Amino acid sequence: MHILIAPNAFKHSLSANQIAEAIQEGLKRSGATCTSECFPIADGGDGTGQLIVEKCGGIWHKYDVHDPLGRLIKAPLGIIDQGKTAVIEMADASGIRLVRSDEMLPLMASSFGTGELIRFALDRNVSRIIIGLGGSATVDGGIGILSALGIKFRDADGAELAALPINISRFHQIDLSGFDSRIFNCQITVLCDVDNLLLGEQGSAVVFGPQKGASPSDIKLLDLALTKLRDLAFQSTGIDMNEILHGGAAGGIAASLFTFLHARLVNGAEHFLELTDFEKRLKNADLLITGEGCLDEQTLQGKGPFAVAKLAKESNITVIGIAGSVPLNENPNLNRYFDIVMPIGNEPTDLQTAMNFTTSNLIRTASVIGKFLSLPKTI
């Protein structure tokens, strides 16, 4: 038996690489007579760019950019496809991991640093830019990125305002005269791991604002600000930013990239698997093991484990899904794609303790799987 190990990262715990290696170690310890291959996956979330560059044999270049609060940092820009394609991980320049918990200020946080990385990519004369949006610290509707690319935001008197969410209510005009036109000679592909729209109860401010430190009052201000941005963008481009599927990703950045940069917004998991030739590896597999931190109904909304499970079932390959958290009751929708869904926890515990023992729990769970696979068929 050949087992393909293709997990997503366990958010706030281990990377996809670390998860895959722990599962493989557990299979080895079980003594099962099988071969295995690690193929860690991503769906546009934090870590996607790293895996793309790694799997495509690319290289990294570091540049000075500004973090979400305007501090100078070093951030990587990946180059693949013999220099033709740049890979940008938004979390590297504008990520929530770059700010402390007491520094989470969504009304002041900017995506400007990600725009700087795009500009550096254009300086390298690439013809394509791939952007992973996961792990952002911002709910700025992409105005930071647009500002880095030369777009100015002016008040009623024509004065330029800083491209910060707190200022959007005072925006009166979007000035495109200084926009870096090189962007239109470059195909922008944005990997999204959610399909939320920009505004409303399922919009970027309401759903993702709290994760980035937004209080209830902040959320109201941010949703109103993004509504104002939508109205101004419609006047400038004729595009309604609130009608764009995936537009709410990364605090509304996806909507701006589509509207102003003519970016293509795609399902991050599907594009990742296509880019990295996943199906070629799947052809040799008898069993697929995948997983993520929480494997539930949301997994079926385009997450990485769903994407690989769907391809495996199309080829009649058995799928085992493992996770830190799984539904308490049987879920018919999950059962269509996952033959077995297993939690890795060994005993009742709090979340932080469970996360501290993710590696050992994965090894133990994978060892149990391996021992089951080794049982005589007569049992």
For residue 113, is pLDDT > 90? yes
pLDDT in tens, 186-197: 999 999 888 889
Give the CA distances from residue 251 to residues 113, 213, 247, 308, in Å, rounded to whole numbers and listed in that order. 15, 12, 9, 27
Per-residue confidence at 367, pLDDT binned at 50, 70, 90?
A: very high
What size, in residues, is the chain?
379
- The domain locations on the chain are 2-42+277-374, 57-269
pLDDT in tens, 218-230: 999 999 999 999 9
What distance in Å separates the CA atoms of residue 160 and residue 101, rounded to the nearest whole number?
31
Q: Answer yes or no: same fold for 2-42+277-374 and 57-269.
A: no
Mean pLDDT of 330-347: 91
Residue 15's SS3 state is coil
Please classify residue 152 by burial: count the beta carbons closer than 10 Å to its beta carbon, then call 0-12 exposed, 13-18 middle and 19+ buried: middle
Q: Give the type of residue at 295.
A: L
What distance in Å separates the CA atoms of residue 52 and residue 92, rounded to the nearest whole number?
14
For residue 379, is pLDDT > 70? no
Q: Which residue has the higher pLDDT, 301 or 229?
A: 229
Is-contact 212 106, C-beta < 8 A? yes
The pLDDT value recorded for residue 285 is 96
> In the chain, at which residue ranges do the beta strands (DSSP E only) sit?
2-5, 35-38, 59-66, 72-80, 85-89, 128-132, 152-154, 160-161, 173-175, 187-192, 264-267, 287-294, 318-325, 340-343
Give the CA distances from residue 66 to residues 114, 204, 368, in Å, rounded to whole numbers and listed in that order. 8, 23, 47
Q: Which residue has the higher pLDDT, 60 or 377?
A: 60
The pLDDT value recorded for residue 354 is 84
pLDDT in tens, 117-163: 999 999 999 999 999 998 899 999 999 999 999 999 999 999 999 99
What distance in Å separates the CA atoms of residue 186 and residue 189, rounded to the nearest whole number?
10
Regarding pTM above 0.85, the answer is yes
The pLDDT value recorded for residue 300 is 87
What distance in Å separates the CA atoms of residue 153 and residue 140, rounded to the nearest whole number?
13
pLDDT in tens, 234-265: 999 999 999 999 999 999 999 999 999 999 99
Q: What share of the chain in percent tops pLDDT 90?
A: 83
Fold adopted by 57-269: Glycerate kinase, domain 2 (3.90.1510)
Which candidate, 100, 135, 128, places its Cα nearest to that of 114? 135
The pLDDT value recorded for residue 378 is 53
Does domain 2-42+277-374 bear CATH number 3.30.420.40?
A: no
Kindly state the tokens that stand for 344.
Answer: 């890795």
What distance in Å separates the CA atoms of residue 227 and residue 268, rounded to the nearest whole number?
26
